[in-house]
Structure 1
């Protein structure tokens, strides 16, 4: 995807390595009892269907009995999977795509002058923004919407996995491939669990039965991106509107400022490590592969839990999932067991393989808070932490390069790639070396700017040992390096 934004957060997502990523598995994940089956099937056409979000919409709509087609700038593994599942995908964009279409679904970022949009209006085809479609799905039954700047994909995945483990039959809309489903979508009797992306400003017009609010920072703010927010205050007001339009909010008590944004909810519940949280994680016992902990509800123990992903942030994500399962009447023990076996969605602390005995991990972390959390998770393994970091977008780098540098300081070694432009024009004076120079000035002796990827591969292949953990990190195409290092097919 180049000039047409999609519901995918920043870059094409690779198929899960070692997970059931075939189209047969993906189709099977959405063949449960549809929660909103319509008596009159419609023909939906999705622009940017190769994006991680739009492809999930396509699968959900098809499972509900609709005829679904789509288009994207280029073919990919994901579009080929969709075609194998019976969804027609055209390469490129053309006005003829809307012939015999009932509903055209497009991102708010698609200009109204786009030929397919113009042809749809002229033909009387209903044009529906992707957030309008998500609202319909959320309000069709018990809806759980996951909002926040960080952790949405992992938390949404964990909630769906925990609900399923507890014997419920959730539907899910996720911004990543969930290995337990082999897909980014699942259809069941309910509840419906959805990742709600704040990079689309229209999310603020939505609401649901239970809003899960992980945190609030300043990502997706500023610049000329069509769906970005002008100020962080405006974005946070959007979070507050979503919460206020929801019946109940479950928010992280550990994150400063969330309480003030949640005043409009009819019912407010909290989760975290903080004293007084309704759902608390206590007695954390970290080890190289994850963390075991005790879950309290109103001060009383619900039981023991474990998350098989390192980092305190993943404890909080798992706690949110167990809290939602409890709220919807699911059994704690089987839900906790399912989470203990959960290996994470695609590109979220994804174990790719090994290089000379070194563990190779790929992670989507691309802003300072996510980077710091990923580095902390790597440190928990007890190995030497070697990070390959690719800054993402010139604007984001301009806004946050000092924080990115500080977030990387705890890594033993950092190999720094050039900025992934993601269709942005370069900004004068903004370069990846801003990060490496700040780190060096602060005394880091293991940071190296290596724009040539062959140099990165050579350096790591020559020096990796069994005591290392290598983490490829960023929202661009840095994930390809993790596969090359571990000898896994792209």
Structure 2
């Protein structure tokens, strides 16, 4: 169910590669569904209990209501119903595995680990929350290790474990709502991270992120990566430029070699360092892994270069909470261009919880255009509106911010004013990516 989702479609591809007959349904057509059909997966549009007869196993997200007609029909027919995290658990425990956890950077880090491993002469399988250009997919089938993005928005992730847990950071995203994809408190969510770590063979955590050591006290083996002196794997001598960053990688004081990440931003140095550390732990060739990462341009919607407009660079990024937005703005500043951001707030609850932080995270951009909130199936919350962000930014002295509810007018304005030396970044977890394509003339 929901086979058009980025995670479910990856499951479909992995299961089909293992020889299973896979079918699925989703509520609306999409490019991803078209691709799955072209690959031989039978896809139906819409949800209907009639999809269930003849099926042995029904895989569904925990977010699907237990009263859904397809689930009811499956239970009535004796069909095995499996949550998606149960399926991921089986894949992680089947052999050598790497699970990437944390609030930010999971998709990029998971992609980088798989790409670095492949470049280093290993043959990873991969389960990623984005399309990896090197694979042309969000999944890869190999002999192993299995590298997986483990999403904390599904609370069942805390029951899982793996051979090597990569722990990027821990903040307060997906907290405070009554939906299946939200935790009641940040303490509960962080306890979930700690359980995953304790149930894994070892953890590689980011030494630069405060508080992770406390969540790793139950680890059987604890390694760290980062710029901090206490890190086992360190990135030193960072040399940023407008396209990315060169740096030196050390392991416990000894140089492993030189590396480059062709994505701007310090956060991407850390993501690449994690990938090189994991590849080193699994015996891959460092120089080959470093070259593969130097060639890597990022997964879909993670600092994705979409094209140009009047000489301006058009980039799309999934950044949707304050930490990710601040990191994306810092990456844009690293290019040396005039930074112009189109931001789409995501979810009413998230906006209610974090609009001041979102406003502050956008302050370093030169121009900011804020769209209406992407509801993502949430009901509106009285008083929560995109203008909370723009008004705070103006009050704090930003002269280049505006609320833009009319996309056609915004497109016209940007097409008229974009110039060489600009970088136009569309940011958000909703459908703001469509604007990037329109700005770049339909490029993809």
> Could you say which TM-score interval applies, normalised by the shorter chain?
over 0.9
Residue in 2 aligned with 1:362? 316
Displacement of 1:227? 2.4
In 1, Cα distance between the equivalents of 2:143 and 2:211?
Answer: 35
Check if 1:444 corresponds to 2:395.
no
Displacement of 1:224? 2.3
Check if 1:464 corresponds to 2:418.
yes
Residues 269-328 of structure 1 deviation map (CA, whole Å, 9 limit, x = unaligned) = 000000120000000000000000000000100000000000000000000000000000
Displacement of 1:489? 5.3
In 2, Cα distance between the equivalents of 1:75 and 1:465?
Answer: 36
1:155-194 superposed matches below 5 A: 155-194=109-148
In structure 2, which of residues 279, 283, 302 is the aligned counterpart of residue 325 of structure 1?
279
In 2, Cα distance between the equivalents of 1:341 and 1:218?
Answer: 33
In structure 2, which of residues 70, 91, 100 is the aligned counterpart of residue 146 of structure 1?
100
Check if 1:114 corresponds to 2:68.
yes
Residue in 2 aligned with 1:303? 257
Displacement of 1:109? 1.0
Check if 1:233 corresponds to 2:181.
no
In 1, Cα distance between the equivalents of 2:248 and 2:338?
Answer: 29
RMSD, matched Cα: 0.7
Check if 1:209 corresponds to 2:159.
no
Q: Which runs of 5+ in 2 are unaligned?
A: none
In 2, Cα distance between the equivalents of 1:54 and 1:474?
Answer: 21
Residues 30-59 of structure 1 deviation map (CA, whole Å, 9 limit, x = unaligned) = xxxxxxxxxxxxxxxxx0000000000000
Determine helix, strand or coil for the equivalent of 1:67: coil
Residues 111-134 of structure 1 deviation map (CA, whole Å, 9 limit, x = unaligned) = 111111111111111110000000
User: Are the aligned partners of 2:306 and 2:443 in contact in 1 as well (CA < 8 Å)?
Assistant: no
User: Are the aligned partners of 2:2 and 2:24 in contact in 1 as well (CA < 8 Å)?
Assistant: yes
Determine helix, strand or coil for the equivalent of 1:199: coil
Check if 1:431 corresponds to 2:370.
no
Determine helix, strand or coil for the equivalent of 2:22: strand
1:391-402 superposed matches below 5 A: 391-402=345-356
In structure 2, which of residues 226, 232, 238 is the aligned counterpart of residue 278 of structure 1?
232
TM-score, length basis structure 1 = 0.90
Residue in 2 aligned with 1:250? 204
Residue in 2 aligned with 1:487? 441
In 2, Cα distance between the equivalents of 1:389 and 1:270?
Answer: 33
How many residue pairs align between the two structures? 444
Residue in 2 aligned with 1:416? 370
In 1, Cα distance between the equivalents of 2:253 and 2:356?
Answer: 40
